[in-house]
Amino acid sequence: MTNNPDQNEIAQIVGGFMLLMAFHSIAATLIFALGFGIGMLMGGYSFLTIWVVGSMGFLFWQLLYVIPLVLRFKRRRRFGMMKGVIVGATITALVNGACFVAAFAGF
């Protein structure tokens, strides 16, 4: 039984993508919790401001953990995982940018 390097790299790419999705879930939970906490303190609809700003700027928030992940995988020479994280971050940026444009263009 031989180990096909292409299948191994594809598995690493999928693993990097799934790792990034886990980090996205954690970030979304933190944004939700921060908005909920501020809403409890301030009252009214102040929590919506945190949620809207957090979701509209998610493209930039993800850079806080994507860049260190990519640098770490590059240093450890795990290029498949690095590619998966980059692909996931690019897809997230494109979807977030499209939603941002759609929200402000009045579609």
Residue-wise pLDDT for 68-82, tens only, equals 999 999 999 999 999
Count of domains forming the chain: 1
> Which has the higher per-residue pLDDT, 57 or 10?
10
Q: Answer yes or no: is 27 within a domain.
A: yes
Give a yes or no: residue 88 inside a domain.
yes
Range of the domain at 63: 10-105
Assess if residue 2 is contained within a domain.
no
Judged against a pLDDT cut of 70, whether residue 106 lies above it is answered with: no
pLDDT of amino acid 84: 95
In a domain, 28, yes or no: yes
Pick the residue with more confidence: 90 or 52?
90
Comparing 74 with 103, the larger pLDDT belongs to: 74
Q: What pTM does this model have? A: 0.82
Kindly state whether residue 1 falls inside one of the protein's structural domains: no
Residue 42 vs residues 13, 31, 53, 79: alpha-carbon distances, Å: 43, 16, 17, 46
What is the Cα 57 distance to its own chain's centre?
A: 11
Read off the pLDDT of residues 32-69 as tens digits, 9 standing for 90 and up. 888 888 888 887 777 788 888 887 788 888 899 999 99
Does residue 37 lie within any of the structural domains? yes
